Structure 1
Amino acid sequence: MLFEPEIAVVSGRKFEGRVVGVLATTDPADFDTQPVEFLDLGLEGVAGDRHHGFVRASSSREPWHPRGTSVRNDRQLSLLSVEDLAEISRRLNVADTAAGWIGGNIVFEGIPRLSWLPRGTRLFFSSGAVVYVEDQNGPCRIAGRAIVRRIPDRPDIELGFPKEAKGLRGVVASVERAGQVKPGDVVKVMVPEQWIYPA
């Protein structure tokens, strides 16, 4: 019989955070997002937003598909935290890294290490909306370039952002249940039980 190593299991947990900002693109071709009063989350994401839809084109993030292949949209929303944004700013040695500069949709406070929430984490909003965490959002040069547009005397940030923002760029998510999200909402976070698959 083959030796089966023990599977490490980390218990799930629940806690709360708070929404401090909601943003959306006003032009689907634009990377930036702008503050809005609320977000109406539909099952396709935010209507009119750059990442709206059930389907998206594959990119360099999915090298196992030919570029541009239609795949399920697991990037409807970009979730960020004020704590992680502050650490990015510290690492880049800038006064601010605004969520809208890097395409954020919902900004939270009080969620520990938001960028490390595992796949399958659910966020429950008071309206009944539920958002499902799909993956960590890997930082890229596009976001770095967007910051340089605001801080033109720091061209080094375009290439430096992917390194300095690693593990801090938030998570991408999809909408599991429709509803409205607005600043001030308390969000209940449900982290699932996690299994470490042995080699």
Structure 2
Amino acid sequence: MTQAELDIVADPRIVPSRKLPGRVTALGIADGEGFRTRGVATLDLGLDGIPGDRHAGFTRRSGSREPWYRRETEMRSGRQLSIVSEEELEQVRRAMDLPRLEAGWIGANIVTAGLPRLSFLPIGTRLFVDGEAVLVVEGQNAPCRYAGRSIAEAYPERSGLDLLFPQVAKRLRGVIATVERAGAISTGAAFTAKLPEQWIYG
């Protein structure tokens, strides 16, 4: 290892922890057929996620996003919840030139306002919701053709939306999260995002 490489490792850039406010503007559950979520006023979260939701559970089966495992390998679930922001959803809507883009069409469980760069919340960020549920951000939610197809169903007169969505929604698709402390979340609830100290290991 060169001295320059050693210097990078020995002196990483450290960003202090911080707190940011936000609010919940909509909630949804995928408890029926297909990919979409339907709107609800409250979610009663358990440690395994949303009871009855297609992503509930402590484990899940690996897929194309985990090429290091054989397909269908049981693994810990880091995607009990899908969270998107109104601000980023609006960016995607404009980029796709759509009159309307519903969060439920892309399977969102929680919609937020007040955090315009929601998708860039670092892994390990905790969302403390109105003194009850606590969620932990596990990573960005990569846009896929499944969500694109769901959008396309709403606009049968437009071709190519299924492919356009993954292109324009990269790093705007929100985050996936798990439940660290069980509790209820209601539409309109305030939350505090507690970002951990961050560093880049070169």
Distance 1:155 1:77 in 2: 30
Q: Shift of the alpha carbon at 1:169?
A: 0.3
Are 1:94 and 2:98 counterparts? yes
Are 1:135 and 2:135 counterparts? no
1:164 corresponds in structure 2 to 168
2:74 corresponds in structure 1 to 70
Deviates more, 1:167-176 or 1:147-156: 147-156
1:185 corresponds in structure 2 to 189
Distance 2:70 2:159 in 1: 32
Distance 1:126 1:41 in 2: 13
Contact 1:18/1:110 (<8 A) preserved: yes
Q: Deviations over 1:134-155 (max 9, x none)?
A: 0100000000000000111122
Q: Deviations over 1:120-170 (max 9, x none)?
A: 000001142100000100000000000000111122110111010001000
2:29 corresponds in structure 1 to 24
Q: Deviations over 1:49-69 (max 9, x none)?
A: 010000000010000000100
Q: Shift of the alpha carbon at 1:95?
A: 1.2
Q: Shift of the alpha carbon at 1:112?
A: 2.9
Amino acid at match of 1:14: K
Are 1:8 and 2:13 counterparts? yes
2:54 corresponds in structure 1 to 50
Distance 1:155 1:34 in 2: 25
TM-score by length of 1: 0.96
Aligned to 1:46, the other structure's residue is in SS state coil
Amino acid at match of 1:131: L
TM-score by length of 2: 0.95
Q: Deviations over 1:21-75 (max 9, x none)?
A: 0100132x42100000100010000000010000000010000000100000000
Distance 1:153 1:12 in 2: 47
Distance 1:193 1:43 in 2: 25
Q: Alignment RMSD, CA only?
A: 1.1
Which segments of 5 or more consecutive residues in structure 1 lack a partner in the other structure?
none
- 4+ residue stretches of structure 1 with deviation over 6 A? none
Which segments of 5 or more consecutive residues in structure 2 lack a partner in the other structure?
none
Distance 1:37 1:121 in 2: 24
Aligned to 1:175, the other structure's residue is in SS state strand
Are 1:109 and 2:94 counterparts? no
